[in-house]
Structure 1
């Protein structure tokens, strides 16, 4: 558990900061589609769910990435 806390608080490489931002945007778009106040087709809401999950996973994986100091 301590290793995860250290990874989250460690600096994130620039490439993964960009990926994290993209993941946050995808999660927001998917959440907006799921929370739309109008009735949307089932296909659209299903895709919105997948986009939200993909964005969340991308964000979490990018946040836990740390620089490789062995190079």
Structure 2
């Protein structure tokens, strides 16, 4: 299964939730980094790390595939191939 199929395949509910949390972390930390107010260096540094973590969580969650629906789809394709072959 290549990356295009993985991204387009159904994602389990837990990982959809995790993806949303990662995107929220990314948005909040981006707002902190781009803030026009002078913030302490430690807060901006932590916001940078949170942005990276949010991006990684979102990317990994997006390419996680629900095996039960994938195996059901594969069974359906195999049945169609067997029917067309006969």
When normalised by structure 2's length, the TM-score is 0.76
Q: Does 1:58 align with 2:62?
A: no
Aligned match of 2:11: 12
Matched residue SS, 2:2 = helix
CA distance in 1 between counterparts of 2:49 and 2:29 reads 7
- Count of matched residue positions in the alignment of Structure 1 and Structure 2: 69
Spell out structure 1 runs of 4+ moving beyond 4 A: none
Separation in 2 of the partners of 1:12 and 1:67? Answer: 5
Question: For the aligned residues, what is the CA RMSD?
Answer: 1.2
The 5-angstrom pairing of residues 9-48 of structure 1 reads 9-48=8-47
Unaligned 5+ runs, structure 1 = none
Deviations 1:21-61 (A, max 9, x none): 00000000110110000111000000000011100000000
List alignment gaps of at least 5 residues for structure 2.
Answer: 72-86
**Structure label with greater radius of gyration:** 2
Aligned-pair CA distance for 1:68: 1.9
